[in-house]
Structure 1
Amino acid sequence: MRKRFLSVALAGAVASAALAAPAHAADTTVTLTVDATGGLSITVPASANIGHGVEGSSVSGLLGPVTVLDQRSSLTPNWTASVISTDFVTGGGTSGETIPNINVSYWSGSATATAGTGTFTPGQPTAGDQQIINVPRTAFSKSGGTGNNFATWNPTLVVNIPPATVQGTYTGTVTHSVL
């Protein structure tokens, strides 16, 4: 009786295995698209007051947080932020009422916040690295990694007030851009 039960059970298992195997198989190729959630942008403070000084001295102060936001979802999300300054003027900007941008220096300092992979590099990490920004200078950059990222820094602006500069409130524009 045992032999008969074993052979029936064995025959049933072989029949079940034969029925379970597919006669033919076919594959489906599945694709999906990951869209960028946005682009590459930079935000800066609307205004900053860096203080007071007299002719022949320097005035320096923090501009406030500058942030590059990269939402391109890129395989190579590299970017470079640059900075440049206009002349600083008061009144009508006639002789003696301008502080030329050759007297305006900038240093980015280290990042105050970052997210994402890759290397975030300040253009001028310390006060000793400050640069005159009468021409575009690198403020911050990011290389390597993948996907979305951001960096924030709080740069320092230094304005050297030339001798014979007349008193007044001087205004200039510091422009940050990112590519």
Structure 2
Amino acid sequence: MRKRSAVLISVSASLLAIITAAPALAAPSADTTVTFGVTAGTLDITAPAGPVALGSASPGGTMSGQLGAVSVSDTRGGDTSNWTASVFGTAFTVGALTLPVDVAAYWSGPATATTGGDTFTPGQLTAADAITLGGPGTPLIAFAHTGGTGGSTATWNPTLVISVPITAQTGTYTGTVTHQVA
């Protein structure tokens, strides 16, 4: 019986050593449900306020220059992110003198930056694609985005080419170029 007690004490001591040396069991898990909302943003366009000086040319000559970065930001968060930016201008005046808006041609050029998915399309990719600028009733497509979801942004630096009529009188003419997006 003594031998048996010694064996039981030895086995008990060994089990105790194993139990106390065993790693602790992990605590049960606890889940937390998290919610958040995504709200609709806006569709906006920005362009340089100017004035942008394009230089000068004699009657019958031409001049051109970039207007500066024009950017569209679509944060509406819809299932499609379609938009079209358009451009139009006004007549160019100095005092009582006026040159019609159609002395100006516009080309958007390629995007300088974009975010979002799917297709970004310039209205006029190259100088060869330049189009005569129309008035408020005849806007031109400057840039467009189709497809994608959520939001998108695009920036481009359009060029304006002025063809000075041979009948133009001297002076510094001023007009407005307006970009809009829908």
- Distance in 1 separating the partners of 2:84 and 2:65: 23
Residue 31 of structure 1 deviates from its aligned partner by 7.6
Segments of 5+ residues of structure 1 without an aligned counterpart are 1-29
Residue from 164, 167, 170 that aligns with 1:164: 167
| Superposed displacement of residue 34, structure 1 | 2.1
Cα deviation, residue 33, structure 1: 3.9
Q: Deviations over 1:88-115 (max 9, x none)?
A: 11012xxxx2111111110000000000
Q: What is the aligned partner in structure 2 of residue 121 from structure 1?
A: 121
Taking the aligned partners of 1:31 and 1:82, their CA distance within structure 2 comes to 39
Per-residue Cα deviation, 1:15-74 (whole angstroms, up to 9, x for no partner): xxxxxxxxxxxxxxx9864212x2000000001111111110111100000000001111
The size of the alignment, in residue pairs, is 146
Q: Which residue of 1 aligns with 2:101?
A: 101
Q: Which amino acid aligns with 2:49?
A: A
Q: Which runs of structure 2 are paired with 1:64-83 in the superposition (5 Å)?
A: 64-83=68-87
CA RMSD of aligned residues (A): 1.5
Match of 1:57 among 48, 52, 61: 61
Q: Give the SS at the match of 2:150.
A: coil
Which one-letter code corresponds to 2:47 in the other structure?
V
> Which runs of structure 2 are paired with 1:137-176 in the superposition (5 Å)?
137-176=140-179
Q: Partners of 1:98 and 1:45 in 2: how far apart?
A: 23
